[in-house]
Amino acid sequence: MSAAVSNLDPRTTTPVSDLSQTGCFVHTDEPLPIGSVIELCFTVFPEEPVLFRGKGRVVRHAVEGEPSGMGVEFVELSDASRDVVRKILLRDEANRQSRSLAKTDETLRTHGLVARLLEARGKS
């Protein structure tokens, strides 16, 4: 996801990761001071765009070995924005589970499916 952050250049967006119900990580080479209150705005679900808007407070900066940026704790979210976060997290969990299931159950894999079908047909 990418977000527009009010305290950064408003014409640009920056990647956002590690989203949780309590906050996210905003990737930027110029993190704002810890304690800064910022507005976040991003759109999710391209097939049915939903706008997320909320306020957050910078609570940490990236440490060595991490991408540059800042950890942001949500401090003001509407019920609609909280619902958007829940939907993002539920969709992400469902995607992870289906990928995990496909890795453990070969019958669900499509890669090599034609070869497996032809092989099975040749054995019968």
Domain boundaries, the chain: 2-123
Query: Is the predicted pLDDT of residue 62 greater than 70, yes or no?
Result: yes
Residue 93 pLDDT:
83
Helix, strand, or coil (residue 22): coil
Please work out, in degrees rounded to the nearest 5, the angle formed at the alpha carbon of residue 74 by the alpha carbons of 30 and 59: 45
Q: Are 33 and 61 in contact (CB under 8 A)?
A: no
Q: Which two tokens mark 87?
A: 């939907």
Residue 1 pLDDT:
55
Lowest mean pLDDT among 1-5, 54-58, 80-84, 114-118: 1-5
Phi, psi of 16 (to 5 degrees): -125, 135
Query: Is the predicted pLDDT of residue 107 greater than 80, yes or no?
Result: no
Domain 2-123 superfamily per CATH: predicted glycosyltransferase like domains (2.40.10.220)
Residue 69 pLDDT:
92
